[in-house]
Amino acid sequence: MLVGAALILAAGSSDRFGADKRLAEIDGQPMIVKALEPYLANIQSVHVVVRPHDPVQAVLPTQVDVIEAPDAYLGMGHSLAAAATQLAQMSWFLVGLADMPWIRAETVDAIATCIQSQKDAIVRPSFRGQAGHPVGFTANFLDELKSLSGDAGAKEVLQRHRDKLIVLELADEAIVRDVDTPQQLHT
């Protein structure tokens, strides 16, 4: 059996939101908890990347592993690099975002199922031709992800390995819908 994981990036500063958006309520629960549901339903090993001593840890479900990213304030690439160092035993993993709370469990399952069957690939979901999240990676990309920095996340890895990219067209608009402002909670 191939062992996989989900990495949920949650170390951002919520500048555009004006408050800690991870704690904003959606359906009576913090956004981050809502965003974790489809991963917890489909993937045994779920990791959330946060800033050191981040108060959001208090609301995370107990089955979630917390990874503290000391350089998270420098950008998403640093958060992803910190997380990648923790995944040495994984065959594949998904990278999701804590501000995408409407992704369906079936979507996470479809991406996980696709990446599990690959040996050397990146699976990027798409909705009507628009690239989304979570993105699936096979383990051979871990070293590259460990060396990321800045705020581009894994974009440079995706660009460098276009030949290994599998685009999975899905009917889930939530893969392209994140929350940057309070108004987006209700749209």
Length, in residues, of the chain? 187
Q: CA 173: distance to chain centroid? A: 16
**The pTM of the whole model exceeds 0.85:** yes
Q: What is the pLDDT of residues 59-99, one digit of tens each?
A: 999 999 999 988 888 888 888 888 888 877 889 999 999 99
Count how many Cα atoms sit within 13 Å of the Cα of residue 147 in the half-sphere of its side chain.
Answer: 5
The residues spanned by each domain of the chain are 4-186
- Class of CATH domain 4-186: alpha beta
CA distances from residue 64 to 30, 121, 131, 157, 178 in whole angstroms, order as listed: 15, 26, 27, 26, 21
Q: How far is residue 61's CA from residue 149's CA, in Å, rounded to a whole number?
A: 28
**The predicted structure's pLDDT at residue 1:** 42
Q: What is the pLDDT of residues 159-182, one digit of tens each?
A: 999 999 999 999 999 999 998 877
Q: CA 124: distance to chain centroid? A: 12
Q: How far is residue 91's CA from residue 130's CA, in Å, rounded to a whole number?
A: 27
